[in-house]
């Protein structure tokens, strides 16, 4: 499976020792930024709406005043109000195992979160284990949905990857105009790994290649969440 810009069905990621995340200034990454589209920094509408959750109830408008007239008015008894059933605000579940360093609302915290995400993706495909990536992503993330589909397929077919598919070379957070949105660049190596079954039979082998990946993160108020993942040219 190869990584693509739109259908990232086969990104391979690995757990590496957490190192100090470097914060990259806008000036130092000016050449890189020019190569990416402006869409890299755009938060999806669904993600923006998530931040507006838990709003207060709207104050009801005053009843229109009655107008005196020559004919008597009749009053219709108001129907008895039925207590409304409590409604729950839809919120994505958050992985409770996210390390404290990866929850910090800082560039370093965002970088640590990307490292954690990569490690969980690696577990999802080498385990395999389905359902461990969704709590780290926005529902609108197509890449995350593709990763989950691959993990579910591997588990269903009794397949797995025979080694950690991706190693991290560098992670750095870009300066961002919004404190709730941050882009993190990850230089990774897609290692030469194979998808195998329980008997060790190989079905597909990925070529080794270096990639630059942009993770757009959204801070939900208690943790970071992946909004988009894109391969940079």
Rg (CA), the chain: 24
| CATH label of the domain that carries residue 153 | 3.10.450
Q: Is 15:22 a contact under the CB 8 Å cutoff? A: no
Q: Tell me whether residue 48 is in a domain.
A: no
Q: Tell me whether residue 38 is in a domain.
A: no
Q: Tell me whether residue 89 is in a domain.
A: no
Q: Tell me whether residue 177 is in a domain.
A: yes
Strands 166-174 and 22-24 come out as parallel
Q: The whole model's pTM is what? A: 0.62
Handedness of CA 186, 188, 193, 194 (dihedral sign): positive
Residue 144 belongs to what domain range?
1-32+99-233
Q: Tell me whether residue 201 is in a domain.
A: yes
| pLDDT at residue number 231 | 93
Q: Is 13:190 a contact under the CB 8 Å cutoff? A: no
Q: Tell me whether residue 142 is in a domain.
A: yes
Q: What is the pLDDT along the chain (233 residues), one digit of tens a residue?
A: 544 333 333 334 333 333 334 444 434 443 443 343 333 323 332 232 222 222 222 333 443 343 334 444 444 445 444 444 444 334 457 889 999 999 999 999 999 999 999 999 999 999 999 999 999 999 999 999 999 999 999 999 999 999 999 899 999 998 777 889 999 999 999 999 999 999 999 999 999 999 999 999 999 999 999 999 999 87
Query: How many domains is the chain partitioned into structurally?
Result: 1
Structure-token match 């207060």, residue found:
56
Find the Cα–Cα–Cα–Cα dihedral 108, 111, 113, 116, rounded to 10°: -120
Report the chain's terminal Cα–Cα distance, integer Å: 19
| pLDDT at residue number 2 | 44
Q: Tell me whether residue 61 is in a domain.
A: no
| pLDDT at residue number 87 | 41
Q: Tell me whether residue 72 is in a domain.
A: no
């Amino acid at each position: 499976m190869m990584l693509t810009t739109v259908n990232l069905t086969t990104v391979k990621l690995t757990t590496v020792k957490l190192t100090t995340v470097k914060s990259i200034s806008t000036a130092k990454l000016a050449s890189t930024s020019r190569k990416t589209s402006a869409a890299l920094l755009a938060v999806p509408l669904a993600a923006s709406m998530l931040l507006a959750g838990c709003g207060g109830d709207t104050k009801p408008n005053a009843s229109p005043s009655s107008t005196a007239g020559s004919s008597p008015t009749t009053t219709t008894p108001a129907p008895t109000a039925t207590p409304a059933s409590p409604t729950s605000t839809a919120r994505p579940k958050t992985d409770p195992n996210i390390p404290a360093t990866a929850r910090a609302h800082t560039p370093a915290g965002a970088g640590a979160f990307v490292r954690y995400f990569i490690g969980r993706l690696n577990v999802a495909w080498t385990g395999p284990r389905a359902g461990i990536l969704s709590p780290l992503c926005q529902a609108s993330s197509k890449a995350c949905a593709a990763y989950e589909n691959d993990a579910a397929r591997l588990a269903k077919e009794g397949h797995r990857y025979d080694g950690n598919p991706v190693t991290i070379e560098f992670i750095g957070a870009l300066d961002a105009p919004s404190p709730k949105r941050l882009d993190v660049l990850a230089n990774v190596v897609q290692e030469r790994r194979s998808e195998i079954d329980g008997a060790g039979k190989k079905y597909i082998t990925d070529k080794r290649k270096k990639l630059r990946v942009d993770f757009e993160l959204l801070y939900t108020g208690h943790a970071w969440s992946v909004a988009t993942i894109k391969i940079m040219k």
